Chain A
């Protein structure tokens, strides 16, 4: 078996992975954390890479699944934080502002799975079967999540263009 050099993999695919994680994480810190987590997984899994799939496809799967776990963890943390704020265990001002660009705000309305599926389908232009295969879920689940995600984003975009110019409230609230 040919030994694959991690540094070479990093050099060849770093921009591809960065482009993907940029769509899944909002803040600079989250993007960097997620990017590093993806490459740590690649580093651990590289000795077992047999080359049945193309390297980029393999990396794409790792990135998608790592991003999904990352977003789920973040979602849980945010919910927990909201509970702690409600019970006044922590100050509301301590909540980190994690959105550094308004472009991500409509995506923040989605739950982790909807967000990943919408980005994979409409931004990365992957086929439904590829998405289902990468995330190990049925095609029907991909379809229903994609449909719901598009509806939520479209609705949010319309609200952002209201004539009174007011932004919709509750940007931090995610829909399930």
Chain B
């Protein structure tokens, strides 16, 4: 590598051996492993939206805040008037 242009000439002619068959087999294996992404983009977007919608609805139905009832201490203040009357804390608030 006496000088720059000699070095560049060496780079130009260098061509390491390649196993094209093995590399093609690897590429084919990787491209064949993704059946989900074979769906067209629009179809994939619609399917994903439906899945998200279903999951959100399921989450909404099972979320504890939507299952409030008379039996809970907090909600009893809303549903039972007598609870308010008996409350020492509220008496203290309203009397002042």
Contact = CB atoms under 8 A, between A and B. Distances in A.
A18 B18 contact: yes
A123 B12 contact: yes
B63 interface: no
Contact of B31 (A19, A43, A107, A161): A43
A157 B11 contact: no
A28 B16 contact: yes
Interface string B50-73: 000000000000000000000000
Contact of A14 (B11, B20, B30): B20
A43 B1 contact: no
B2 A161 contact: yes
Interface stretch (A30-38, A60-68, A78-86, A128-136): A30-38
B80 interface: no
Interface residues of chain B: helix, strand, loop or mixed (majority): helix
A35 B11 contact: no
Given A10-B24, A32-B23, A40-B27, A154 B4 contact: yes
A69 to B, nearest CB: 17
A36 B3 CA distance: 34
B84 to A, nearest CB: 63
Interface centre among B3, B4, B7, B14 (most CB of A within 10 A): B7
B16 A157 contact: no
A39 B30 CA distance: 11
Interface string A66-79: 00000000000000
Interface in A3-31: 6-7, 10, 14, 18-19, 22-23, 28, 31
Interface in B1-57: 1-4, 7-8, 10-12, 14-16, 18-20, 23-24, 26-27, 30-31
A36 B30 contact: yes
Interface string A127-160: 0000000000000000000000010011001001
B27 to A, nearest CB: 5
A157 B4 contact: yes
A43 B11 contact: no
A99 interface: no
Contact of B4 (A19, A36, A153): A153
Contacts of B20: 14, 18
Nearest to A28: B16
9 contacts: A7-B24, A14-B18, A18-B18, A18-B20, A22-B14, A22-B15, A35-B18, A40-B31, A106-B7
